[in-house]
Amino acid sequence: MENSRTIPGRKFLDRQLSAREIIFATIAILCCTSVISAPVALLLGLLVAQFIGHPWLHLNHKATHLLLQVSVVGLGFGMNAHAALEAGRAGFGITVVSIIATLGAGILLGKWLKVDKRTACLIASGTAICGGSAIAAVAPAIDAKDKQISVALGTVFILNAVALFIFPVIGHLLGMSQQQFGTWAAIAIHDTSSVVGAGTKYGPQALEVATTVKLARALWIIPVSLVASFAFRKKGQKLYIPWFIGLFILAMLANTFIPAVQSFSAYATSIAKAGLTLTLFLIGAGLSKEVLRSVGVRPMVQGIITWVLIATATLWFICNFV
C-alpha cells in the first residue's frame, strides 16, 4: 500500500514542465554547443522575451552575472600574457581619454535632455566603462533607486545587443585589422559579454585584444565609483570590486608560464566561450516588454547619442593611428 504522506520534493518532481520551460531549456542547452553562435543566441533570447517570456526571470540577473564572470576567467586560459600586455599598453591612452570624454558627454547630455541626474550618471558610467557591471557598481555609490537602475540597465543592454550585430559588419566593411577591431570593440561596446561575442566573431586575435583591453577598462569602475560617491555625497558605501579580473589574470599567467596548464587550456577556453554564448541568450531573454517600455525616450536618446559619439570618435582615431 502506497504511503499517502507527502514526500519532500515529490510535488516538484511530479510537476510537468510547461511548453515555455521546455523551449527555453532546449535553446539554453543548444547555446552550450557550436550549433548557435553568440549573435544568434542574443537574438533568440530577445525573441523568447517578446513572444513566450522568460520562465525563470527572477533568477536571470544573478545567473548572468555569475556566468559571465566565470566565463571571462575561463578565457584567460586561452591567452598569452606577453601578447595581452602589449595589447593593454597599446590601448591605455585611448582608454583613459575615452572614459573621461564619455562620462562628461553622457552627463551633459542627460542634463540637456532633462534625464534624472542619477539615471543619467548610470547610463554614462555604463557606456564609458563596462555596461551592467559599471551600473551595478556605481548605483549604490550614488544611492540610485530600483527604477533608475532598471532604466539605465535597459538602455545599455538594448544598445549592447545592437552593437553585437553591427560592429563586426562595420569592421569588415572598413577592412579593420583584428588588432584595430579588438581595440574598438573593447572601447565602444558596453558590456563584456558582447565585446567577447563580437571579438569571437571577428577573429582570435580580435578576441584576445578585445578581452584584455575591456578588462583593463573595467578596473576604472573603482575610481569612477569613488568620484560618483563624492559627487552625490554618499559616504561609507562599499564599492563593488571586479574580483574576476584578478582571476582572469592568474589564469592567463598560468597558461603562459605553466606547461601543465597548457594541456587543458583549449578545453577551458571552449567551455568559457559556450558560457558566454549562454550568457548572451540569458541577457536577451531578460529584455522583456516591460523592460523595454520602462526605458523611456529621453534616457534612450541620451544613451544612443553618447554611444554614437564615443563609437565614431574612437573608430576614426583607431583607423588613422592604431
Residue 195 has pLDDT above 70, yes or no: yes
Closest CA to 69 of 216, 196, 199, 244: 244
- In this structure, are residues 39 and 300 in contact, taking their beta carbons and an 8 Å threshold? no
Give the lowest-confidence range in 142-151, 156-165, 170-179, 271-280. 142-151
**What contacts 237, CB < 8 A, 6 or more positions away?**
140, 141, 143, 229
In b/e form, how buried is each residue of 208-237, taking b as 16+ CB within 10 angstroms?
Answer: bbbbbbbbbbbebbeebbeebbeebeeeee
- In this structure, are residues 188 and 126 in contact, taking their beta carbons and an 8 Å threshold? no
pLDDT reported for residue 12? 45
The C-alpha angle with vertex 117 and arms to 114 and 122, in degrees rounded to 5, equals: 120
Q: Calculate mean pLDDT across residues 72-100.
A: 82
pLDDT reported for residue 2? 46
Residue 181 has pLDDT above 90, yes or no: yes
For the whole model, what pTM was predicted?
0.80
Residue 136 has pLDDT above 80, yes or no: no
Proportion of the chain above pLDDT 70, given as a percent: 91
The model's pLDDT over 236-261, given as tens digits with 9 standing for 90+, comes to: 656 666 677 788 889 989 999 999 99
Residue 313 has pLDDT above 90, yes or no: yes
- In this structure, are residues 307 and 123 in contact, taking their beta carbons and an 8 Å threshold? no
Which of 141 and 179 is assigned the larger pLDDT? 179
Residue 137 has pLDDT above 70, yes or no: yes
Please report where in the chains the cell 504511503 appears, as a residue.
3
Residue 8 has pLDDT above 80, yes or no: no
